[in-house]
Amino acid sequence: MRTNSNKYLWVLIPTLVSIFLVDMVYFGKIPLASDTISYKPISEWVKNYSLENSNIPHWYPNLFGGMPSYGSYICTSGDPLAKIRNFLLFNRGLKYWDFFTIGGLAIYLLLRRRHIGKLSALFGGLVTCLTPYLFGLINAGHSTKIMSLGYFPLLFLAADYCITERKIRGILLLGLIAALQLWANHPQIVYYSWMVVVFFWLWNLVADRISKTQTVRQDTMASLMLVGGLILALVLVSDPYISVYEFQEYSNRGASSVLDESGTTDSGVKWDYATQWSFEPKELISFLYPYYYGMQNYPTRDIKSAAYWGGMPFTQSTHYFGLLVVLLAILGAVLKKPDRFNLFLWVTSGLILLVGFGSYFPILFGPLFHLAPFFNKFRVPSMIYSFLPLTIGILAAGGLDHLLKLITNEKSTALRKLKKSVLIIFGGFIGLTLIYLLFGNSIIAFIKPTEAGQYDPRVIAQI
């Protein structure tokens, strides 16, 4: 009797996540994050108010001389899963485990829908849910960001279902997931999520018109389903988001400062404030060599672990998601010509990189900041890099899948092609490593070593 040994491979995703979060999940330990500690007295106030009153607190008197508590996310309601989640997932570690697992399993399902093997789909899911950036968010106490990122793979899966299947239940699926992500209370991640989804829709729309693979009626149906799902989500979350929208007009996200109006937009934050955490292009090397600009996790857990000398003011998170992931993604593109979906992922990854450069690449970030609706409400351009583990992770899973198929292929020509591709990619990486070991930053400094003494060090740093 033949059994399928890979049938329950997906179980490894929640299992491995629980192992990585073992201290938080099983022992209830919580990192001392500044955001978590600073919110503690606010949450206690909300709890005490709720015990003494039957209504939701609308005004918080102890911050900035008093401010709306409902429109500022101090106290929000609406998430239908919140009480269930708080009851079943009774500590913070279990909640993190839940959202890490949701993201990983959603990518696993997406890859299986795309006919990727179970082992490769497992790899793609693990890349998404175990990316180091998420663990950095735990240390920073950015819980709502973790929740929103956990829902994004589900959102993308639902959008893919609407575009490819065009069934009415797709509207309900997309609307519900989009609403849950909005209820997580991190509008910037939601905004970036829909940037990816809308670009995915446009990509397929243009590709269909070029290839004539879908009729105009089919594309129209897919478009209406996406719009319908979004409208449904907005209706569901209208409370509290109407209050949030009304309040932002009086916050630094929607009004000019009373002290300094220089460099402001008509509504939104200042350019310098919005782009302060732009990702310096030369820091891309940290995607291959994670400690090139610091952030090394020393066993001593002292100040050395917090050392960072990149272009951002400071950071607690690394955008490194694995050298093997990057190499497998490239290998997949070399071994097999990328199809429409893979090309979308490559182009999206490139655009994400450029947007994350912020002030270092104003050609793209500038028009978005000044023209895209609500884009100028947000800061930290590099936050968009939190989507790279998904796009590159899916590409890496495809590369691994094709690699495994070639290894099991008995044709000598296929194996020769595989060996040649592996030698080129890994040889190129080794060569790049040697260059950086020999020359360091000087190869991207655009200034001769003999000229360095002629300039102020602060000027060189800006160059």
Domain's final residue, options 241, 273, 296: 241
User: Is the pLDDT assigned to residue 368 strictly greater than 50?
Assistant: yes
> 353 is written with which tokens?
């990189």
Residue 140 is predicted with a pLDDT of 84
Does 318 share its domain with 406? yes
Helix (H, G, I), strand (E, B) or coil at 2: coil
Summary mean pLDDT of the chain: 84
* Residues 272 and 330 grouped into a single domain: yes
Closest CA to 372 of 142, 188, 145: 188
The answer to whether 317 and 140 are in contact (CB under 8 A) is yes
Judge contact between 322 and 395, C-beta under 8 A.
no
Say if residue 413 is in the same domain as residue 328: yes
Q: What is this structure's pTM?
A: 0.87
Residues 222 and 307 in one domain: no
Contact between 146 and 137 under an 8 Å Cβ cutoff? The reply is yes
pLDDT digits (tens, 9 = 90+) for 181-233: 999 999 999 999 999 999 999 999 999 999 888 899 999 999 999 999 999 99
Q: Is residue 183 part of a domain?
A: yes
**Who has greater pLDDT, 421 or 46?**
46
**What is d(CA 118, CA 17) in angstroms, rounded to the nearest whole number?**
18
Any domain includes 407: yes
pLDDT of residue 460: 47
Share of the chain above pLDDT 90, in %: 49
* Summary count for the chain: helices (H), strands (E): 19, 2
Instruction: Give me the half-sphere count of Cα atoms (radius 13 Å) on the Cβ side of residue 344.
Output: 18
pLDDT of res. 415: 67
Instruction: Report DSSP letters for 26-66, one per residue.
Output: HH------HHHHHHHHHHHHHHHHHHH-SS---EETTSTT-
323 found inside a domain: yes
- pLDDT value of residue 63: 77
For residue 68, what are the β-bridge partners?
Answer: 59
- In a shared domain, residues 322 and 196: no
In sequence order, which residues have a C-beta less than 8 Å from that of residue 341 and are 6 or more positions away? 114
Other CB atoms within a 10 A radius of the CB of residue 45 amount to: 18
Per-residue confidence (pLDDT) for residue 438, from 0 to 100? 65
Environment class of residue 115 by beta-carbon count within 10 Å: exposed (0-12), middle (13-18) or buried (19+)? exposed
- Per the structure, how many domains does the chain have? 2
Average pLDDT over residues 450-455: 52
Question: Does 193 lie in the same domain as 304?
Answer: no
Per-residue confidence band for 147, with pLDDT thresholds at 50, 70 and 90: very high
Residue showing tokens 């609407």: 162
Paired tokens of 89: 């997932």
- How many other CB atoms are there within 10 angstroms of residue 40's CB atom? 9
User: Within this chain, do residues 185 and 315 fall inside the same structural domain, yes or no?
Assistant: no
- The answer to whether residue 277 is domain-embedded is yes
Q: Is the pLDDT of residue 49 over 60?
A: yes
Tokens of 447: 């200034």
Q: Is residue 457 pLDDT above 70, yes or no? A: no
Q: Is there a single domain that holds both residue 350 and residue 427? A: yes
Domain that includes residue 170, residue range: 157-241
d(CA 264, CA 273): 10
Same domain? For 309 and 405 the reply is yes
Mean pLDDT is highest, among 287-291, 310-314, 378-382, for 378-382
Same domain, 227 and 296: no
144 within some domain: no
Residues 204 and 282 reside in one and the same domain: no
pLDDT score at 451: 52
At 153-162, the pLDDT tens digits run 999 999 999 9
Residues 207 and 276 in one domain: no
Q: Is the pLDDT of residue 324 over 70?
A: yes
For residue 54, tell me if it sits in a domain.
no
Q: What is the distance in angstroms between the CA of the first residue and the CA of the last residue of the chain?
A: 67
Question: Residue 384: inside a domain, yes or no?
Answer: yes
> Which pLDDT score is estimated for 427?
73
- Is 78 within a domain? no
